[in-house]
Amino acid sequence: MPRGRFSDRDRSTNRQYWSMSADYRNFWDLLFPWLDAEGRMDGDARVIKGIVCPLAGWTDTEIEEMLVKFESLKRSNGLGWITRYHSNGIYCLWASGFHGHQKGLQISHEAKGKYGYSNIPPPPKKILSKTGVAPMIEDNSFIEELRPKYPHLDLDKEWEKCKLWWSEGNRDMKRPKSAFINWLNKARGSKQIEPKQPAQSDDNEGLTE
């Protein structure tokens, strides 16, 4: 994750922003830079306190009250400044106006996660439909295509390990299928016949000898 996020100068004249107390404004300013490339993060007040403002004197209850306030401040699309929801056992937070502020966001510089460029599940479709913003979910349909060629490997687990290897080095996986094939060939570690490669694929992407 980069060291910060873009903040629109419109905040200087935003009546909702200035209707809040200084503590609420300060907390919002601290919260925003911690959103991932999809505008999401964990929505639990205790987790947020530990990440966003561990040295602040605010209690978990006060953090929760400020989050509820942000949910009540409505944007033109009818959604709050933030929306919280449960998905896959995770309490999630999403800022619906995030992408409107990130005009200079270079998504290729962001680490990929389990859900596109996030480790937090996307909001329900009925929420996303109000914003016109689609989650940047990665296309990993090629995994099913490769599964019969590597019957002795758990491709789902290998894919997660492959993504982790790339993200740890801040590498940009431009050709996921080619990178994954190279990863699987390393993981297989046998003399079985290699799966046929597309004529235009980049066989050098992924792990090297």
Tens digit of pLDDT for each residue in 95-112? 887 765 666 666 666 677
Residue 15 has pLDDT above 60, yes or no: yes
Distance CA 30, CA 15 (A): 19
Q: How confident is the model at residue 160 (pLDDT cuts 50, 70, 90)?
A: confident
Q: pLDDT higher for 138 or 33?
A: 33
What number is the average pLDDT over the span 57-80? 92
Residue type, 39: G
Residue 154: which of 176, 184, 178 has the closest Cα?
A: 184
- pTM for this entry: 0.58
Residue 183 has pLDDT above 70, yes or no: yes
What number is the average pLDDT over the span 125-129? 68
Q: Residues 165, 140: contact at Cβ < 8 Å? A: no
Residue type, 20: M
Distance CA 181, CA 165 (A): 14
What number is the average pLDDT over the span 149-175? 80
Distance CA 84, CA 68 (A): 9
Q: pLDDT higher for 105 or 19?
A: 19
DSSP, collapsed to helix, strand or coil, labels residue 86 as strand
Residue 52 has pLDDT above 70, yes or no: yes
Residue 3 has pLDDT above 60, yes or no: no
Residue keyed to tokens 């962001």: 110
Which H helix or E strand runs over 90? strand 90-94
Residue type, 122: P
Residue type, 75: R
Residue 191 has pLDDT above 50, yes or no: no
**What does residue 181 show for φ and ψ, rounded to 5 degrees?**
-60, -45
Residue 87: which of 116, 51, 125 has the closest Cα?
A: 125
Residue 143 has pLDDT above 60, yes or no: yes
Residues 6 or more apart in contact with residue 51 via CB below 8 angstroms: 34, 41, 42
Q: Residues 106, 51: contact at Cβ < 8 Å? A: no
